[in-house]
Structure 1
Amino acid sequence: MTNLTIELNSVIDMTEEQFFQLCQKNPDLRFERNAKGDLIIMSPTGGKTGNRNGRLTQQLFNWADRNQLGIPFDSSAGFNLPNGSNFSPDASWITIEKWNNLTPEQRTKFLPLCPDFLIELMSPSDSLPKTREKMKEYLENGMQLGWLINPKNQQVEIYRAGKDVEILDSPEILSGEDVLPGFILDMTKIW
């Protein structure tokens, strides 16, 4: 199954609140929205992708619990990016300062910011060119470090603010560098 994109902007200019309500009224569906206002309906993942995503999230949450430097999120968390896109990365993290600057109401809805760190895990229904575009969009909106994991090719694309994309073949570990100090993702549990 592939993801579907519906052009809505020519019909309705959906506000962030309306988009949030649409998602809440349809909990069995996963939506994203690009900066043009197009609605993207994400297909569910299979067992293998779901397990891989759980392993990513598990390792990120365990690290975050130990150091208390920020707040991690799983794939169900939505982010309203500064450019108007509404995305839900597979795993993400923001600094504790950003979290503390959010109001209690902002914390209950899609967060009005871009994650400092995120992971996008390719599933069979994902398009590599479209996911690369999304990673670049995250960078343009404030992401400091991002990993695009492609299990099919056993490659990882590393996106860093102000730097060229680095591509690694079959890495055994990934480092959170200075964005997530001390975080090491064990890729042997992902491949």
Structure 2
Amino acid sequence: MVATPTRQLSLEEFLQLPETKPASEYSNGEIIQKPMPQGKHSRLQAKSVNAINNLVEDAKIALAFPELRCTFGGRSIVPDVAVFAWNRIPVDEKGNIANVFNTYPDWTIEILSPEQSATKPIKNILHCLNHGTSLGWLIDPEECNIIVYPQNQQPIYLENETDILPVHEIVKELHLTLGQLFKCLKLN
């Protein structure tokens, strides 16, 4: 029996498909559905978004968005947290935040889900860095560590509670240690 090759979808065709829950991403003609977020993932995502927005939103410096579709460089990805400098946030004709973000985030944060391979989130972070993003984080809630990906530098592995997390320059007022970040997972 001869296998018939299936036609790959174009990025434009993918973007016409209905959204899925959890979100699906597009890369090189392939559609990959993200894993369903679970407790630790959701809590770390909320903590990151809130910590960033509490410092920068009122001053109109930047905004952190959870699960925002970003389409650029031939791919359409949905970072767990996408941070945009205020002047880079797409707006519609009324001056409101646009629904479609056809650009890269300034800072991307990916959070591993249980039993998820790190390969896909790392590929997304590297894609972002190759298209203008300045900083990426890969948070591993099970191991309580973070790999920081600064643009044009070697990744930095952080595992000690006292390690200070490198942040994007637009949120330089955010002083957070690894221990402070992961403390949000404790309920006592």
- Please report the TM-score for the alignment, with normalisation by the length of structure 1: 0.79
The RMSD of aligned alpha carbons is: 2.4
Q: Give the drift of 1:69.
A: 0.8
**Displacement of 1:190:** 4.4
Instruction: Compare the two structures and name the one with the higher helix fraction.
Output: 1
The answer to whether the 8 A contact 2:63-2:86 is kept is yes
Aligned residues between the structures: 174
- Matched residue of 2:36: which SS? coil
Pairing 1:187–2:181 present = yes
- 2:61 is equivalent to residue 69 of structure 1: yes
CA apart distance, 1:147: 0.9
Q: Give structure 1 regions of 4+ aligned residues with deviation exceeding 3 angstroms.
A: 170-173, 188-191
- The 5-angstrom pairing of residues 7-26 of structure 1 reads 10-16=6-12, 18-24=13-19, 26=20
C-alpha contact 1:175 1:182 (8 A) present in aligned 2: no
Q: What TM-score does the superposition give when structure 2 sets the normalisation length?
A: 0.80
Partner of 2:103: 113
How far 1:188 sits from its partner (Å)? Answer: 3.5
Give identity over the alignment, percent: 21
State which of 152, 157, 164 in structure 2 corresponds to 1:167: 157
User: In the TM superposition, what is the alpha-carbon distance from 1:88 to its structure 2 partner?
Assistant: 0.9
SS in 2 for 1:39: strand
Counterpart-to-counterpart distance in 1, 2:74 and 2:106? 17
Residue of structure 2 in register with 1:93 after alignment: 83
Partner of 2:32: 40
AA partner of residue 68 (structure 1): K
- Aligned partner of 1:104 in structure 2 is 92
In the aligned structure 2, how far is the partner of 1:131 from the partner of 1:138? 11
Where do 5+ consecutive residues of structure 1 fail to align? 1-8
